Amino acid sequence: MIRKFFILSLIAICLFAFSSCQKTSHGPVTVTLDPTNNPSEFDVNVLGGQDWSNGTSIEIPLAAWTIGGTPVTMRQLLKFDLSKIPASANIVKANLYLYSDTIPKNGDLVHANYGTNNAIILQQIGSTWDPQSMNWTSQPEGLTDNQIIIPSTDQPFLNLNINVQPMVAQMVNTGQNYGFKMQLQDESIYTSRIFCSSYYADASRHPKLVITYTH
């Protein structure tokens, strides 16, 4: 009788332990973030020394060009809402997708990509910023320690799939999500990389962040 009770107790303990493991063990979760009219997406531009920024452009223009002979430089701030991802999550993968605008409204109005060196610097933003009050002179700085250089291309149009796992992991695990900053590595006139924004009519070409995590 005692032996039978012991065996039943042991079985119960094992079942409880297995049940606990089942409750706390989770497989990978994949989240796709591709908002329409993202309020935390901002073109930071300067035209002839004057602020020319835009918070609702249909494009993400990374460019150094001229308008009516006046030089213009265009950069981008882009933030996604990561609040639904637990701070303790292990970020396995994170990829940022950007889609060339095949009917560009900036640059030479024909090619999204132009110039002999149109490489892009992609950085994690290091401080908070407000799209309601953002302008060229108040733009936040990007962090250089984990920045990514996206190579130059001679293709007129080129969609991008960028591995941003280290940046997203830091944003999630520290709770300091200030988004991404993008600009041309060489902001010499007549250089461009132009992408569709979240205000673009075709939603399938909006910027997209795909994150896979475990917890």
pLDDT tens digit sequence for 135-157: 999 999 999 999 999 999 999 99
Cβ atoms within 10 Å, residue 36: 9
Residue ranges covered by each domain of the chain: 26-214
Cα 143 from Cα 202, distance rounded (Å): 32
Cα 41 from Cα 60, distance rounded (Å): 9
Cα 2 from Cα 211, distance rounded (Å): 53
pLDDT digits (tens, 9 = 90+) for 75-132: 999 999 999 999 999 999 999 999 999 999 999 999 999 999 999 999 999 999 999 9
DSSP 8-state code for residue 54: B
In one letter, which amino acid is 149?
A: I
CATH number of 26-214: 2.60.120
